[in-house]
Amino acid sequence: MPDSSSSQRMAGQVCIVTGAASGIGRAIARTLAAQGATVVVADVTTEVIEGGAPTAEVIAAEGGRAVFIATDVARTEQVDALVDQAVARFGRLDVLVNNACIRHARPLLELEEADWLRVLDVNLGGVYRCCRAAVRQMLRQAPVDEVRGRIVNLSSQHGLIAAPGDLAYGTSKAGTAYLTRQVAADYAAQQIVCNAVAPGKIQTGAGGRAIDPVVMERAERRTPWPRLGRPDDVARAVLFLASSEARFITGTELMVDGGWMAA
């Protein structure tokens, strides 16, 4: 449950979170809303993988403000419409969180070209499309506390080291980390902030490969912290980078991995 007892760090801000129906994106959306943001929940579905009511409904029940806009980040027209609708309804866009992604875990020789292209189109192409639409809007806005808008992209430790048997996913996350740095450098002079959060092994409630015994054993062995990550761990890191507390920080990739990459 997001903590709304502290001062509302995101009061009055409008945030889009992609892939917010389930897992990490759902936790990010709830956390931003609990801190006072108006949240646009963007996803291809309202169905919650781990179970429960749709994210926008949960946020409303918790006293927050959220709307759902059906969005496929692989479709340019849907991404552009997402930003246009958010701004038409709420007046501006302060924060974009690019969380939407898919996986198709295969090594090189077992990865069909269509599947390779699909993963890149959603995971990296989606970040490109959403960043482009958001930056276009943010450039039209007057700065607030020196910033026109903030972008937080979800990368991964598997953009820095191999994701065993998962070539497309790791490549897409490496590209996301690079795109983050490039956008940050290109638009810093226009007062647009762009950072990334790189989760380690996060237990989201998803099944399949996420809880495969081999995957779990490797994650537990590689993570120095005495537990694996939770969606809320990532959400709190995103909150920091989305807030005005993260002053003079742009182009960085914040590891939220329990020390995986330090060991």
Question: What is the distance between the alpha carbons of residues 263 and 261, in angstroms, rounded to a whole number?
Answer: 6
Q: Are 259 and 223 in contact (CB under 8 A)?
A: yes
Q: Is 178 known to be catalytic?
A: no
128, 169, 178, 187: which is the annotated catalytic residue? 169
Q: CA dist 30 to 63, 140, 210, 232, 240, Å?
A: 10, 27, 23, 9, 14
Quick one: tokens of 20? Answer: 């917010």
| Helices within the chain (DSSP H only) | 23-34, 55-61, 76-90, 113-123, 125-139, 167-187, 213-222, 231-242
CB 85 within 8 A of CB 137: no
The residue assigned the tokens 């607030």 is 144
Active site residues: 169
